[in-house]
Amino acid sequence: MATTYPGTTIETLSIYKNSSKTLFEGIFAAGGITMSQISNMTGLEPYLIQNWVKRKFLSSPVKKLYSSEQFARILIINMLRDSLQIEAICNLIDVICGEPNDKSDDLIGDEELYHRYVNMIAEWDFDLYNKADILRRAELATDDFEEKNIGDRQKLIKILQVMLYAHASSKLRDTAREIFSTLQ
């Protein structure tokens, strides 16, 4: 059964460790990507992404091209926006990635956050209702994280946990709606 990468419409047979890095390498092999490409890969309307730029949730494209960092932020926002308010999502990302236009305050970049999340959920073989299991997954996804300040890794672990629960809740809601629609 096919699945999609979080925040995208890009189908794959399975998500495995570092598969999102390989995906990004292919997408960005020629440099930045356009709004229409992002729209095709996410299902988002261009006006919505432009609104995120206008509201400073996302930095402006350079010469109408979006970078891998910007694309990762778009994917994170897209996968969480059904469960969390966009301001909350951006605050969550800003805790670890900092302001979209300032790389100096990043503990990690948006792209690294996205890849660590995908690695955390790779080959989904854990119990969503087991908090200790989710915590172990987040800890494993941050094993090689080098802290700039004491406590940075713990922040990243908590953010990955929030991302997983928010993403999973939207998937569970979609499944409930799908089943409910068959009753009518």
pLDDT digits (tens, 9 = 90+) for 18-42: 999 999 999 999 999 999 999 999 9
User: How many whole angstroms separate alpha carbon 114 and alpha carbon 51?
Assistant: 21
Whether 9 and 43 have beta carbons less than 8 Å apart is answered as yes
- The region of weakest confidence among 46-50, 59-63, 170-174 is 170-174
User: How many whole angstroms separate alpha carbon 38 and alpha carbon 75?
Assistant: 9
Selection from 34, 10, 13 nearest residue 114 by Cα: 10
User: How many whole angstroms separate alpha carbon 147 and alpha carbon 137?
Assistant: 18
Joined tokens for residue 105: 């305050």
Q: Can you give the pTM of this predicted structure?
A: 0.90
Angle, vertex CA 32, rays to CA 30 and CA 36, nearest 5? 110
Joined tokens for residue 40: 């095709």
Does pLDDT of 12 surpass 80? yes
